Amino acid sequence: MIPIAVVVCVMGGWCTVYLADTLLRSSSSVKSRYESWLSSNGFTLSPFHIKWHTSIFNRLFARCAHLNPRFLYIWFSAGMVFGVLAMFGSVVLLSQTLLQTLSQMLAETPEGSHEQILQVVVPGVNLPVSQLAYFFIAILVSGVIHEFGHGVAALREQVRLNGFGMFMFVVYPGAFVDLFTTHLNLISPIQQLRIFCAGVWHNFMLCVVALSFLFLLPILLFPLYYTGAGALVTEVVEGSPSSGPRGLFLGDLVTQLEDCPVWGVQDWHNCVPHLSHNPQTGYCVHTAKLQHSWMAGRAFKRLDGTMECCGNNSLTDLCFSYSNNVESKLFACLAVRKTIEASRTCRTNTDCQTDFIPSLCLIPSLENQTRLIRVKHPPQTDMLFVGYPSHLQYSVSLTNFVPRLGFLHPDLPVMLETFCKYLVSLSGALAVVNAVPCFALDGQWMLTAFLEATLSSVILERNNRELIGFFFLLGGSALLAANVALGLWMVTAR
């Protein structure tokens, strides 16, 4: 959940702002100057809401709207087509998401929630508090680009732009453009559609740019960082199985998990489930070494049916099972690091018969679902992990980028990657949600202009067209509200 300190800081900050605003407005000596300053600078304050409106960017918007008339016509016409398709596609997507959510609720299992394209995000619940900065900056950038599209499209269609503004509601930032409504109502429905669709179109293009940057990042950073050599450790969770004197450290380069090579972060995330879903890997041990290291001990069954032959308090020894030509199942308690050091992996004794030295395949006898995993991170000694593979997977943070120079920080590519991913997710979500035919969203005006452009010659009465649009908006609003409500319940109550 959200840390109490964060909640206290947010509430305390807003209370301080509201209290200061109230005191300044109630003071007879500074009230007029304070209100004059707010008005001249375009600030508006209300509980948990600050808005700033300005016209200083109007000239910038005007320049952009007259750069290349032919290109802008094609650009916003393409945006209009995309916006109409997105409006209908968003309804299909929300319907699919709603059905998936309902099926998960009825099945009483959260499995498969990661397959949903749209998910409700709650900071501190399914959004790490450590990544809130990425989240809010990406929202702000997506909102500014969205409104920039509206503003440029409006000026191109000869609609006056009164100004541009930004706001903050509680902790969520946003942006808006102020258009002259009279001009907007005088232009044709097609022109209106270009303006209304420009926001979601620019959000989509921002997704494309961020996604392209994400794919080209290895090339762009090639002079400073190289990839394909392994997964570089950028963080180890303190107190986790991966920490400790023989564990992983910041700057270690992981190259292999057992017999699964690791060339990058994706390989790490593929290898861990592979090792988890497959039987425990064995190790080829010379017979002479086995006889020399064998420790007498009676094997006994654990509660889950697996066998144990070492003391419960042993930190260096592990029970291994093996078979020879005489007996099919034997157990030996061995010093795990000395036993498997420099040993190749195996599944059966046959895998070990590749040289003239007699060897057997020893398989660790562990509890169900736990694994012994040998993590190679040269030049350091291999880390030996015993436990649930998922604990290993999420106890470290990794990156594909290895610095070429010592003074380069390994977190820079991670920050760029993370920010681009948030831009893709949030800008895409903003495009989808705003395209929904719902009251108070862009989809409302997109639907109205679309119906006027397509049905004016079929349904002559304007009131009838508005009635059709009202029912569409009612259905879209209900669909969006149901997704948000059930999504919140799935995230917070499960």
Q: Is 147 labeled as catalytic in the residue annotation? A: yes
CB atoms within 10 A of CB 493: 7
Strand locations in 2-55 (E): 43-46, 49-54
Residue 112 is encoded by which pair of tokens?
């498969």
3-state helix, strand and coil shares in percent for the chain, rounded to the nearest 5? 50, 20, 30
* Cβ-contact 207, 428 below 8 angstroms: yes
What's the burial of 281, exposed, middle or buried (CB within 10 Å: 0-12/13-18/19+)? buried
**Alpha-carbon gap, residue 318 to 104, rounded angstroms:** 41
Amino acid at residue number 299:
A
What Å distances lie between residue 286 and 208, 249, 325, CA to CA? 56, 32, 15
Beta-bridge partners for 301: 307
Beta bridge partners, 53, equal 165
Residue 52, judged by CB atoms within 10 A of its CB (0-12, 13-18, 19+), counts as: middle
Per the residue annotation, which of 147, 157, 258, 308 is the catalytic one?
A: 147
Tell me if 242 sits within 8 A of 227, measured CB to CB: no
Residue with tokens 């992990």: 385
DSSP H helices in 401-461: 411-435, 442-455
CB burial string 417-441: b at 16+ within 10 A, e below? bbbbbbbbbbbbbbbbbbbbbbeeb
Whether 301 contacts 331, CB under 8 Å: no
Strand partners, 177: 164
Q: Could you list the active site residues?
A: 147
